[in-house]
Structure 1
Amino acid sequence: MSHTQSAACCNTPAVISKGYKEQGQFITIDGLKTYTTGPSSAKQGILVVYDIFGFFPQTLQGADILAHAHNEHQFRVFMPDFFEGKPADISWYPPDNEEKGKKLGEFFQTSAAPPKTVERIKSVMSELKSSNPGIQEWGIVGYCWGGKIVNLVSASGTLFKAAATCHPAMIDPKDAANVTIPMLMIPSGEEEKDAVEKYEAELKVPKKVEWYHDQVHGFMAARSNLEDEKVKAAYEKAYQTLLTWFHNHM
């Protein structure tokens, strides 16, 4: 399916600064607690790979925005709990002392080891496709750590039609050469400029890079301070970009 951008696609629901109550529900997919939101009649699905802090209200709100922002082109969104109830503690970030650095390092080597999640996505998607036969196309978006996962599952033979990474971690220009589907990147001011530019240059697919130089790593997910009007405005704008990307490439 091919859709051009319309004004309606960018009408994101009002962003709630504090005390957000998710619109979807939690189900079990491949043995994992999974947040799902959006109409069951949707013909397109989006898999969300959260950041290392798991099911935060800001990230759940983002999933709801993706699912409900356009009455005529809605997505069914799924966000599995790849850490099985044991995400990283947000107090570990930023890792500005030895103890925090050690805890984050251990988490990335065990629970957040990318190959482990890449393999789990294969079985998750197998069940999602089987249980949602009405979904004809799939997109994928990842935040921070999830951005690395998105790159790794966007290579030849991917199940996904379009991809996006939001303030991605572990940016490696070598990953770009293997990407075979349209790729959006939304870097924050804390991503390494040289790495992002080299990555962008290596992409051979439809691509877009939209910088948010005045925002922190995580501003679209767990580390977003939506009570700050400047952050809230950036969050809203970035989700408009994300929606437009999926509307145009799915």
Structure 2
Amino acid sequence: MAQSEQTAETLRSKTLLTQFFADTGECCPPQSTSNPSKPNVPHPVSAPTGYEYKGKYESVGEYDKVYVTGPDEAKHALVVIYDIFGFWQGSDLLASHLLDTSPTRIYMPDVFRGKPFPKDQDGDKDELKKFFAGTAKLEHRLPEVLDFAKTLKKDHGVNRVSILGYCWGGKLAFLSLASGTPFCCGAVIHPAMIAPEDGENLTVPFGFYPSMDEPKNVVEKIQKDIEGKPFAGKSDYHLYDTVHHGWAAARADLSDPENLKQYEDVYRRTAGYFAKVKC
């Protein structure tokens, strides 16, 4: 089966799931475990921190705006896919952790083309339905990200490209690692919209870092499938069972000691995974 056909088949197998989220306007897991007092809503979006970014924005491939950080001479590229709220500061921390062990050039493309989901409309299901049916439609964004990985290898002097996704971006990362993937490995942090078959479809080493809010039965099924893969020994898993969905990206509350502790831990762990796997 040709790679384009494999990608199409992967997309078809996910159509019902992604259509469900487009129909319901649901994405991020609610605080059913982390905050029983508000069991039906996601953790709130974090307030601005005043963080000063270390990298720069460039035009790369078909994207007019890509946040780029890490050493220019790195031969490993890591494509980071943000959550529905757009750019987030964690890439600088990853690049710093990887500098001594596995120098990595990190690329965070603006997959929403300047139109992330408005933070002040968080929880508005009607607006989320529109967003998932248009700007954030996985069937449309996935081929673009796959092409971006190929562009990095062809035109930007790297010989290895991996992927990391958060929340919505975590779902896209899962989909991008099926048969025929241009990525040599991948990882997700508090992924959204996960399905039992997501682990079955993985074809390369995988770092899996869910929070306490992702559905436990689905997390366990995915991890069990990873453990049965030939690349299980190169993969990594840790359940962050003391923090909420979104603790490492736009829903992070870095004023909370436990959130900050696990935020720092997951970035160290993720960097350690990418350095070790050396895909």
**Normalized against structure 1, the TM-score is what?**
0.85
Letter of the structure 2 residue corresponding to residue 160 of structure 1? F
Is the aligned partner of 1:74 residue 2:103?
Answer: yes
User: Matches of 1:126 and 1:139 in 2, distance apart?
Assistant: 11
Q: Which runs of 4+ in 1 moved over 6 A?
A: none
**Contact preservation (8 Å) 2:63, 2:110:** no
Identical aligned residues as a percent: 36
Match of 1:144 in 2: 167
Match of 1:198 in 2: 221
Q: Which deviates more, 223-232 or 43-52?
A: 223-232
Letter of the structure 1 residue corresponding to residue 68 of structure 2? T
**Contact preservation (8 Å) 1:154, 1:180:** yes
Equivalent position SS for 2:191: coil
Is the aligned partner of 1:26 residue 2:57?
Answer: yes
User: Matches of 2:101 and 2:239 in 1, distance apart?
Assistant: 29
Letter of the structure 2 residue corresponding to residue 41 of structure 1? E
Instruction: Give the counterpart of 1:49 among 71, 75, 81.
Output: 81
Cα distance change of structure 1 residues 235 and 182 upon mapping to structure 2, 3 Å threshold: same
Instruction: Give the counterpart of 1:39 among 71, 85, 90.
Output: 71
Instruction: Give the counterpart of 1:109 among 113, 124, 133.
Output: 133
Match of 1:158 in 2: 181
Q: Which runs of 5+ in 2 are unaligned?
A: 1-47
Match of 1:122 in 2: 146
Letter of the structure 2 residue corresponding to residue 121 of structure 1? V
Instruction: Give the counterpart of 1:180 among 203, 208, 211.
Output: 203
Q: CA deviation at 1:71?
A: 2.6
Match of 2:120 in 1: 91
User: Matches of 1:66 and 1:43 in 2, distance apart?
Assistant: 16
Cα distance change of structure 1 residues 72 and 178 upon mapping to structure 2, 3 Å threshold: closer
Is the aligned partner of 1:171 residue 2:171?
Answer: no
Corresponding residue pairs, total: 224
Equivalent position SS for 1:111: coil
**Contact preservation (8 Å) 1:44, 1:76:** yes
Letter of the structure 2 residue corresponding to residue 75 of structure 1? T
User: Matches of 1:161 and 1:116 in 2, distance apart?
Assistant: 22
Equivalent position SS for 2:198: helix
Q: CA deviation at 1:180?
A: 0.7
Equivalent position SS for 1:184: strand
User: Matches of 1:140 and 1:31 in 2, distance apart?
Assistant: 16
**Contact preservation (8 Å) 1:143, 1:167:** yes
